[in-house]
Structure 1
Amino acid sequence: MLKQQNSPTREIINLDGLYHFKVDTDRRGLTEQWQRSRLETTLEMAVPASYNDVFANKAIRDHVGWVWYQQDIHVPRGWKDERIHIRLESATHEGRVFVNDALVAEHSGGYTPFSADITDHVEPGSTFRLSIAVNNELTQETIPPGTINVTAAGRREQRYLHDFYNYAGIHRSIWLYSTPAMRVEDITVVTGFEGPTGSVDYRVDVAGSTGREQILVKVLDALGEEVAAGEGAEGRLSIPNVNLWKPGQGYLYDLEVAVHENGQLVDVYRQPFGVRTVEIRGAQFLINSEPFYFTGFGMHEDHVTIGKGHSSALMVNDFQLLEWVGANSFRTSHYPYSEEVMDFADRHGIVVIDETAAVGMNAAFAGFFGEGGKKTYAEDFVNDATAASHRRAIQELVARDKNHPSVVLWSIANEPDISEAGARDYFLPLAALTRELDPTRPVGLVSELRGTPEANTVSDLFDVLMLNRYYGWYTQTGDLESAELVLEEELLKWQEKYAKPIIITEYGADTMSGLHSLYDQPWSEEYQAAFLDMYHRVFDRVDAVVGEHVWNFADFQTSKGIIRVDGNKKGAFTRDRRPKAAAHLLRRRWTGESGK
């Protein structure tokens, strides 16, 4: 799905701001059709933002179910002969969009966009009532999965097996935009190079085609100068003296697609892209045929007050901290991030491991989160309905992010059970689907401690080994000498058995900022630094390790429970982005003073 954009044939209006807001406490809104009239509420809620921490109301924070947003929207009178669309960049986890009384769009999955053509429901020059119902419920048919329990007091309670808070609401922007009836609907760009010449294979999908249109394409460099041109819905263009997109150097071109009919311009769209290649060669990860070593973090879209809501200012600050610490990459743990984040990474040469929201699919964690034991691949947990949602999540992720040069690796799940019977049958078709959708990028999933070289059943299906390991924290707690031995022993086994690149996608220790100790005491800043330093010594001794992503970039909020005090504290930065001692240690390593 192409993003909305202004062009000579298109216009966009941002619909962010304050909306009338109502919590559907009794789950009556859909049956009573609240979209048919003004919401009976005094509450207002900002878009984009999670609603959980905004109100001084525990019932709203803990609400499980639907909430409603409503606002009157004016349609420009100049759009009289245009198609009119509405687009939500996300609604977590389910959204239904109403224009006046009519349902125009519905979508499940909290982190990818959806849109609707609303031309037949609105009049240019007039106002319509926009109502959006958003549901935060996680079930065994959603990605991520979850369950809903009823407490002894009769309150509905959301349970899930992932370790970050289930923030909800409209987290990203809402757009109203116009297009011609015949329009560019999708563009796919695949790049390569040989010597100084770049290649651009492109495919254009046109909606409303009459069969008489002419499609003209050209490549514009960063200064807007034409460097290649062609004709047709698909083809290959050559760029002489190409500027490659590289880690740290986010050089972008535009593929400008213009649709003409009867000699007249009908539609034009510009798709940014970067020329670069990705390849796995033995145990090396290559970008532009050069070995690449990942340094950075697993991150979260998580900030005080706004939760997972997107903020451009906070995004820029996070990227500034990534630059300061010397990080060249991050993983979108554990869901697709805002499109603005991906665009920023493209422009600034930051490498991204792009992950679906398939997290918490591991029955072994049930005890950790206070639930009884169960099997993972079973009718009451990860089942056929879960797999169907997982397939859609992969399809939507690839469709959204396929043209981002920053994305070099698809991660289709985080810490699923890969040793239990049923894992291989579940992941074999998903790995194949991802490669079918995009043959140009490697595919992987992230494994937890129990998915050892001996016990896992799926690692041969993937191109890269992505490992989350916490020796010295969840096991060998406080004993870094023993942890160092078992960590190195396991990594050498992976290296010998698979001879594939290994990225340590999580390693870290919870740390209270300001807690100091003369000794390596768990929870102290000294222990976190010593923990990371030990892991780095091991990484430097294992040739197949091609990346290190610390867990986590910053402290983040989690669900309630005795295992967390105001969230996960493994951040190198605090939740308000103050550096711990670990951040300075990482900066010394990643800016070239030591390490690989």
Structure 2
Amino acid sequence: MKLTLRHALALLSSMLLWSMAGHAQVRIDMDHDWRFRTDATDAGIAADWPRATPAETRLVDVPHTWNIGKDDDYEGVAWYFKSFTVPASMLASHVELHFGATFYRSRVWVNGTEVGGHEGGHTAYALDIGRQLRAGENRIAVRLDNRPGEATIPGYAMRQLASGSVWYDWWHYGGIVRDVWLTVSDHALIRRQRIASKLGGDAASVSSQVFVENVDGADGSYSVTASIVDPDGKTVAQAQQNVSAKAGQAATATLAVTLPHPQLWNVGDARLYQWVTELHAADGSVLDSRSDTFGLRDIAIRDRRLYVNGKPVRLSGVSRHEDSPWEGLAESAGTIRRDWSDMAALHTTLTRPVHYPQNDEVLDFADRHGILLVPEIPVWQFSEAQLKNPRLLALAKHMMREMIEQDGNHASIFAWSVCNESDASLPGGRAYVDAMAALIRDIDPGRYVTYADADISSKPWKEAPVMHDVDFIMANAYFGSWSGSGNDVEAWLDFVDRTYPDKMVIISEFGYPGVFSHDSVSADKARSDNLLQQMDAFQKRSFIAGAIFWTYQDYKSHRNLWPGQTEGYVDHGLVDENRQRRPSYGIYEARNQALSVTTQWRVDAGGLRGFQATVSGYPATHLPSYPMLGYVAHWRAIDDRGQELAHGDEALRDLSQPIRFEGAWQAAGKGAAVHLAVDVTRPDGVRAGGVVSDYHPLNIGSDPFLPNKDEQP
């Protein structure tokens, strides 16, 4: 249950006139009415800001970043302050303060007492603040520092030292960049649950490890129950287990069920189940509950091919930074959904999606729309010395563990990436990759491990033993710019094939940066030509399982800018920073459709009477290609006066074979022109392809079906 602070405290005041026992955990929204100011001299602690809010603060809501507006390029320390009221009856409960993410290093005080902190800008954390609360007014102070170092993640890109610029290639958005909330619990809570599934025959085995924490001063015995809800909203299984935990300690309950005739999660066709867990006290009252969605699917790499539910797939997509001129990293759900809906319209079925852990809204969208993800921690352009640093390795492991524990139930995630464009080919870098891979295989053995590498495409091409240590290769390949001539891609692909004959490859980045052209218009023309050439080259090699275009939108940076600029938006996207589409957007969209639609006109002596359409999915040799089940074709015919002649829908149950259907109407007249639109949508309603056709009267002869020569994608 999620409430605003004002409504929650009113509710709590009435509820807490008696004991909280028997009430499930309450979540209280804390996003509003914070005070903010920068601290350029880092004097806040000495000036006692943890206890007293300084002058010259400004009112903000979170999520918030200070790097928009007057503090655009501010790097250093800044503070957030918030006051709130607590009823006396709440003091007997267990209260935690949660941050969805704060960038980068935080320290947190409640009523002048430091309660903890966190390092890392993209994962959630919680702090126990119950002992620091008092009846009446309370105060939170948060000190944040967004300065990078050689052992921060992200941090100085020391591989770039010779260039004179070691800044990472996106903006340093400091702030409380995701939601803040309180949770109020009694006796015990569910810290998290880890769902695992396995398909076998016509059934699925599903289990959940439920991590219970006793927050009482006395030992406790509890009952953990689970209800599993199928994609149609029907409860299809239940489970129960008793568990005990000593005072202040944790315990784990494992619940398992078998689901007959499972509905499978698939590429572009996401069927999601829900696992609802409740924690009960000995008297049966509900202490806490948690609900997670999961998908039943089998993802495997065999013979250098990617298989989803036993079918080979070849996928494509675009990467996207969490960045915009209006929100920066502190993105709202609306911005995320808008961008990702546009990426779905670009037929994105695979993406990295970028260099750091993602907002829950991103992962939920991918889950619902059947998009495969390879999330990554932001180890970008690190040198061997950095990768060998024990402190950095420990921090990387901590970040990876946080990301996996936070996001591991998402059906969209099929692999984890441990770094990007770093010195992994050197001995110290290989040791880093192997250590990270060992951690992931220990805590999440059902998923694959990889990293994104740029050395593989840099001349002179040479074998890197570390490539044999990961489950598949992710290659950043910018032929036509950083990697060399666009025509070099064919020879490079042959080299990769010879050198790593047992490895599947995903092109984790390709594209065309604007700085290689004179202006944005000519850059986008080159970008369009480049993406077509490169996609065609990748398609010829069956071991290329996917290709990810860099990027969806232009993003803010100090690097890769037009000459003379020291900050700005990198010209690299299919849309600009304001989401205005470039011509390359349409070219990319057309090239990445996984099906084709053709039409023929049906005419007789009375004139045009209808059409015949053929919808075909592309074969497994095509990039992209994947099974398409349950699609629908929607068509509409309009005459030259703008009047609708007819419309209809046609179910396309399985596009592994071409499907032909017809549409008809009363004759429009011998001299009439007709506009026909055919759109094919996926089960989730996203457009998968289609054509627009225009009929013009002509001498038809004796053939009742005329090929349509005016089709436009």
For Structure 1 versus Structure 2, the TM-score category normalised by the shorter chain is 0.7 to 0.9
CA contact (8 A) 1:21 1:70 kept: yes
Whole-angstrom CA distance in 1 between matches of 2:376 and 2:428: 22
Asked if 1:218 is matched to 2:227, the reply is yes
Question: What stretches of structure 2 of length at least 5 have no aligned partner?
Answer: 9-21, 159-163, 242-252, 597-617, 624-713
Task: Tell me: CA distance 1:562–1:268, structure 2 relative to 1, closer, same or farther (3 Å).
Answer: closer
* Residue 584 of structure 2 corresponds to residue 577 of structure 1: no
2:368 to 325, 332, 347: 347
The 5-angstrom pairing of residues 135-534 of structure 1 reads 135-146=145-156, 160-208=166-214, 210=219, 212-232=221-241, 233-265=253-285, 266-361=287-382, 376-378=383-385, 383-449=389-455, 454-476=462-484, 482-484=485-487, 486-498=488-500, 499-511=502-514, 523-534=522-533
CA contact (8 A) 2:511 2:531 kept: yes
Name the % identity. 25
Q: Which structure is richer in relative contact order (CA contacts within 8 A, separation 6 or more)? A: 1
Output the CA distance in 1 between the equivalents of 2:268 and 2:365.
12
Q: For the residues of structure 2 that align with 1:523 and 1:47, how far apart are their CA atoms? A: 40
Asked if the contact 1:166/1:559 (under 8 Å) is kept, the reply is no
- In angstroms, what is the RMSD of aligned CA positions? 2.8
Shift of 1:133: 1.0
For residues 373-430 of structure 1, what are the alpha-carbon distances to aligned partners after superposition, in whole Å with 9 as ceiling and x for unaligned?
xxx2237x85222112111111111111111111111011111122334222222111
Distance 1:402 1:242 in 2: 21
TM-score between both structures, scaled by the size of structure 2: 0.73
How much has 1:260 moved relative to structure 2?
2.4
Moved over 4 A (4+): 3-8, 76-81, 450-453, 560-565
Paired residue type of 1:175: W
Pick one of 10, 20, 34 that aligns with 1:19: 34
Counterpart amino acid of residue 540 in structure 1? Q
Following superposition, the deviation at residue 267 of structure 1 comes to 2.5
Instruction: Give me the whole-angstrom Cα distance separating, in 2, the residues matched to 1:323 and 1:32.
Output: 50
Higher alpha-carbon deviation: 421-430 or 98-107? 421-430
Q: Which of structures 1 and 2 has the bigger CA Rg?
A: 2
The answer to which of 344-353 and 127-136 deviates more is 344-353
Contact 1:443 1:464 in 2 (8 A): yes
The reply to whether residue 87 of structure 1 matches residue 86 of structure 2 is: no
Aligned partner of residue 446 in structure 1, secondary structure: strand
Shift of 1:91: 0.8
Of 114, 125, 131 in structure 1, the residue corresponding to residue 141 of structure 2 is 131
Q: Deviations over 1:527-560 (max 9, x none)?
A: 1110101101101111100111101111110016
Structure 1: how far apart are the matches of 2:66 and 2:522?
Answer: 31
Structure 1 residue 62 corresponds to structure 2 residue 73:
yes
1:312 alignment partner AA: A
Is residue 195–residue 409 contact of structure 2 (8 Å, CA) maintained in 1? yes
* CA deviation after TM superposition for structure 1 residue 82, in Å: 3.1
The equivalent of 1:535 in structure 2 is 534
Q: How far is the alpha carbon of 1:330 from its aligned partner?
A: 2.1
The aligned amino acid for 1:229 is: Q
Could you tell me how far apart the structure 1 residues matched to 2:357 and 2:212 are? 26
Which deviates more from structure 2 when the two are superposed, residues 488-497 or residues 166-175? Answer: 488-497
Deviation string 1:553-581 (CA, Å, 9 cap, x unpaired) is: 11110016765652211111111111112
Q: Runs of 5+ in structure 1 lacking a partner?
A: 149-157, 362-375, 477-481
How far apart in 2 are the matches of 1:4 and 1:343?
21
Distance between the aligned counterparts of 2:3 and 2:477, measured in 1?
A: 40
Please list the CA deviations of residues 103-133 of structure 1 after superposition, one character each: whole Å capped at 9, or x if unmatched. Answer: 1120001111111121222246x33111111
2:291 corresponds to which letter in structure 1?
R
More strand by share: 2
Matched, 1:120 2:120: no
Paired residues, number = 555
SS in 1 for 2:269: coil
Q: 1:147 to 1:510 in 2, by over 3 A?
A: closer
Distance 1:573 1:8 in 2: 49
Describe the shift of the 1:341–1:76 C-alpha distance in structure 2 as closer, same or farther (beyond 3 A).
farther
Query: CA separation in 2, counterparts of 1:344 and 1:103?
Result: 37
Distance 2:103 2:63 in 1: 11
TM-score, with structure 1 as normaliser: 0.87
Q: 1:540 to 1:306 in 2, by over 3 A?
A: same
Deviation at 1:223, TM superposition (A): 4.7
